[in-house]
Each structure stands twice: as structure tokens, then as C-alpha cells.
Amino acid sequence: MSAIFGVFSQRKNKNVFLRIYAGLYALQHRGQEAMGICLIENEKISEIKGRGLVSDNIKHDNKNSIGGYAGIGHVKYEYSDDDITTLPMPWQYYPDGKDQVIIAVDGKFLDDRDVEEIAGVLNGPIEKIPEYILNLKGAYSIIFAKKDMMIAIRDPHGIKPLSMGKVDSEIIFSTETCGITGSDAEVVRDLQPGEIVVVTKDEVKSLRAGNFTATPCVFDFVYTARPDSFINGTSVYRSRIKMGMELFEEAPVEADIVVGSPDSGMISALGFARASGISYEKAIVRNRYIGRTFILPSDEMRKKGVKMKLSPIRSLIDGKRVVLVDDSIVRGNTIKHVIEILKDSGAKEIHVRIASPPVIRSESLTFDVPSPEKLIANGKTVEDIREYIGADSLAYLSLDGLNKACGNGKFYERCFGGYDPFEEGDEDVN
């Protein structure tokens, strides 16, 4: 889970730094561990890279001293197997020994393909790229740039999102549409699965590697993507509302209030409340200066993180039958601590409803899901999980219900035990 953002101005007198800066801010939710920006100004490449947030690394002086007519930005979420000493992308190479290029990748390859090799191919003849990409297995999007060209690529299965935008002479590529709108540009369209878009000062042209059906990662709809984004033309916000509504249809319950676990469960909680007629209350306040807790390395750290992050409004909870809606349960520790907070605030009953199916398989291509032995749903029944987290009842949204909420398309569903094109022999070729 990370994000990339690229801009190529077809007029070389434009400075695209502030556009990239704004785009990365809009994509910050996809990676808070490190960030990088590289800009091209004819023969010169300048960069800003560092650990932490965009705001930790870009100061007022940077805004006035760095520039270029083309550039790529990257925000990074670290996988458990990442080398934390490696600088964030974009990375710079000299594939032909002369011209300097920059490249950033969101996602992973099944065969741990060398990024320098990919940069070399993209720096070569354009007509050879589709065959190479067709054989580059994984879930990824790529942005590559050199002084006279930018190339954007979406993987042949369309697992990773990548959209194109435009403003004046600037062509923009972003992991999510919110990056484009957040940088004050207009969304043009999503790239198709296996599409390769080549931008020069004179034209924008498209090539295609294969002819596959898009299978976007369904967890983007559940958790990863920002609510105001669209993926393959489908609103993430509307999908989350529908998840909550489907969840009520599948697992109704009598209660006094519906509460969303901040922030990932709040939209689905609103959908559950609308479908059920039960009052929706923002009964848990989130400290926005505390980051995501499910990725912290130990249970003790996650427990402390949850208590620092979430504060209950006792007057809304005391004596009430509460429906607690969350997006997913991975290890189970975080929601267990949330239930403890609600109980300490006087909740009479706590009924947990999860707006996705049980996470039963590890995942490393699209985001970092732990090994199976660390997944609470692996080898346990729903009743086992309910007892462990301390809820009065527990129900998950079915995979069919999730698919329906997201538009009844075909999705990459590995972590939920569903469709994975790399295990199905690429059967979704048209």
C-alpha cells in the first residue's frame, strides 16, 4: 500500500512542483512512513526525500527553490519485509549510460522483479513495452519519466488503481482520483488493465498489454481508498454506504444506537443506520494526531495506541444497546480494545457488525496482511471470535454482499479467500 503521483507539462515553462506537492497531500492516507519527489528540468533532476509525512519534509523554502516541468511523487507504507534503510521512490537510473530517468512503483511483483530492469525496458523502444508488461506478473502501477517523456502503466489485471487527469498543459497520473481533484485538476479517466500511456510534448498515446477484465482490489473499497475517490468509475463512499446497508439486511439486530469505529467504519455505520432506522451517533471521538493502529508491531503498543486514539462520549453510550460497525477485523486486538472502551462507558450490549468478510489469508501484493497464524479468523469460528473480542453478537458481511455493494464487478479478493487471478490461470482474459 503506497501511492504515486506524476505530472508532465507539455509546455516546458511550467513548474509542476506545487501540483505534485498537493497531490501527495491528498494521497497521504496511503503511506505515512516516507515520501519522495523527483523533478526534471531538462538535464537536471532535483529531489526531496525523507522519513515521515509530506509536511515533515517539505518546508516553505523548498516550495521556492525546487522546480521542473515533469516529476513524480511517492508516499510509502512499509511492508513487514521492506528494508527500512532504502530511500523512498522515485528512484533514479542511467539505463543507457547517458540519460537519467526516474521511476516509482505502487505495488509488488510476484517474482521480485528488479526495478532498474523495468526502467531500462521503459527507456527503450515503445513498441516492446506491451509484451514485457504482459509478462510482468503482479499487482502494480508504474510511473516513469525522462526529460522528453512520461510513461504510466496499470498492471494487466487492473488490481492496482491508476487514473489520468489534466489541467492546462499538464497531464497527471495518480493512484487515486482524489490526488487529481486534490491538486485542482480534472479527472479524465482510469487507465485500463494493462494500459500503457505515453506522454510527450506533442501527444498522448495509449498501448495495451493484453485484453484482461479489470479485477481491482476489493480492499481498496473496504479500507484503503479515500472516500471521495472513484475506482473504475465506482464511488468509494457510495460503496461503503451500501456495505452497511447490505450488512443490516444480512445481520439485523435490535439496538439503540449505531456507532462507527473511527474512521474506517463510520461510513458503513451510516449505511447500517439508514437501513435499520436505528439512530447513528458519533459516540467515539478520534484523536487525529494518532496514526493507524493495526500496523503497530505489538499488541501492547496497539492497545496503548487505541486508548490514545479513541475517546468515548459516555453520555451517548451509557445504558445503550450499541451496534459497533467496523470495516474489517485482522488480528482482532484493536476491536477488542474498542469494545473495552465502550463497556467502560456503560454500554448495555455491544453488537459488532463487520462490513467485509473474515480475513483468512495473508496478502502482500496490495497491502500487508500478516501470516495466517496471526489472523484471528484463520481456523476460528465466528463464535470463537465473538467470545475473544467480548461482543454480545458478531456478524460479517458476506463476500457476495460486498461484491454487490461495490457494483457487482470482478475483484481481487485473496485476503477474503475469494478470486485471485494468479491462482485461476488468468481466466479473465476476454
**Tens-place pLDDT, residues 69-80:** 999 999 998 766
Closest CA to 122 of 209, 40, 193, 62: 209
Same domain, 377 and 309: yes
Q: What is the mean pLDDT of residues 103-111?
A: 94
Residue 430's pLDDT is: 43
Residue whose C-alpha cell is 506524476: 6
Same domain, 294 and 342: yes
Give the chain's largest Cα–Cα span: 71
Same domain, 110 and 20: yes
Same domain, 69 and 205: yes
Residue 429's pLDDT is: 44
The CA-atom distances, in angstroms, between 165 and each of 80, 170, 224 are 33, 8, 21
CA-CA distance, 365 to 229, in Å (whole number)? 21
Domain count, the chain: 2
Cα 426 from chain centroid (whole Å): 24
Same domain, 289 and 393: yes
Least confident of 82-91, 128-137, 322-331: 82-91
Residue 219 lies in a domain: no
For residue 207 the three cell numbers come to 498501448
Measured between its terminal Cα atoms, the distance across the chain in Å is 28
Give bridge partners of residue 173 from the DSSP assignment. 6, 164
Please indicate if the annotation marks 55 as binding a ligand.
no
Tell me the CATH number at 68. Answer: 3.60.20.10
Cα dihedral across residues 238, 240, 245, 249: positive or negative: positive
Same domain, 298 and 400: yes
The CA-atom distances, in angstroms, between 135 and each of 114, 175, 206, 211 are 14, 22, 18, 13
Same domain, 47 and 102: yes
Evaluate if residue 353 carries a pLDDT over 90: yes
Evaluate if residue 301 carries a pLDDT over 60: no
Q: Answer yes or no: pTM beyond 0.85.
A: yes
- Among candidate residues 197, 213, 229, the one where a domain is terminated: 213
Identify the band that residue 42 occupies on the pLDDT scale cut at 50, 70 and 90: confident
Residue 296's pLDDT is: 47
Query: Contact at 8 Å (CB) between 193 and 136?
Result: no
The amino acid at 206:
S
Evaluate if residue 370 carries a pLDDT over 90: no
What b/e string do you get for 164-188 counting C-beta neighbours within 10 Å, with b at 16 or more?
A: bbeeeebbbbbbbbbbbbbbebebe
CA-CA distance, 351 to 393, in Å (whole number)? 5
Q: What is the mean pLDDT of residues 90-102?
A: 90
Least confident of 65-74, 104-113, 305-314: 305-314
The amino acid at 188:
V
Adjacency order of strands within the sheet including 204-208: 91-93, 101-109, 138-146, 149-154, 195-199, 204-208
Evaluate if residue 329 carries a pLDDT over 60: yes
Query: Contact at 8 Å (CB) between 299 and 274?
Result: no
Choose between 113 and 179: higher pLDDT.
Answer: 179
Residue 203 lies in a domain: yes
Choose between 97 and 339: higher pLDDT.
Answer: 339
Identify the band that residue 304 occupies on the pLDDT scale cut at 50, 70 and 90: low
Same domain, 114 and 263: no
Residue 145 lies in a domain: yes
Query: Contact at 8 Å (CB) between 275 and 298?
Result: no
Evaluate if residue 120 carries a pLDDT over 60: yes
Please indicate if the annotation marks 400 as binding a ligand.
no
Same domain, 205 and 263: no
Evaluate if residue 258 carries a pLDDT over 50: yes
Least confident of 56-65, 91-100, 231-240, 319-328: 56-65
Give bridge partners of residue 208 from the DSSP assignment. 195
Residue 224 lies in a domain: no
* Length of the chain in terms of residues written: 430
Same domain, 187 and 246: no
**Summary mean pLDDT of the chain:** 91
Residue 327 lies in a domain: yes
Residue 112 lies in a domain: yes
Tell me the CATH number at 262. Answer: 3.40.50.2020
Same domain, 185 and 252: no
CA-CA distance, 239 to 244, in Å (whole number)? 9
Residue 87's pLDDT is: 75
Helix, strand, coil percentages (3-state) for the chain, rounded to 5, are 30, 30, 40
Please indicate if the annotation marks 263 as binding a ligand.
no
Residue 294's pLDDT is: 46
Query: Contact at 8 Å (CB) between 64 and 48?
Result: no
Cα dihedral across residues 167, 89, 98, 40: positive or negative: positive
Query: Contact at 8 Å (CB) between 220 and 154?
Result: no
Residue 418 lies in a domain: no
Least confident of 96-100, 191-195, 227-231: 96-100
What phi, psi does 73 have (nearest 5°)?
-120, 160
Residue 262's pLDDT is: 85
Least confident of 205-209, 353-357, 359-363, 421-425: 421-425
Strands (E), 13-137: 34-41, 44-51, 70-76, 91-93, 101-109
What phi, psi does 287 have (nearest 5°)?
-80, 110
Same domain, 78 and 202: yes
Residue 291 lies in a domain: yes
Range of the domain at 303: 238-406
Identify the band that residue 305 occupies on the pLDDT scale cut at 50, 70 and 90: low
Q: What is the mean pLDDT of residues 410-430?
A: 79
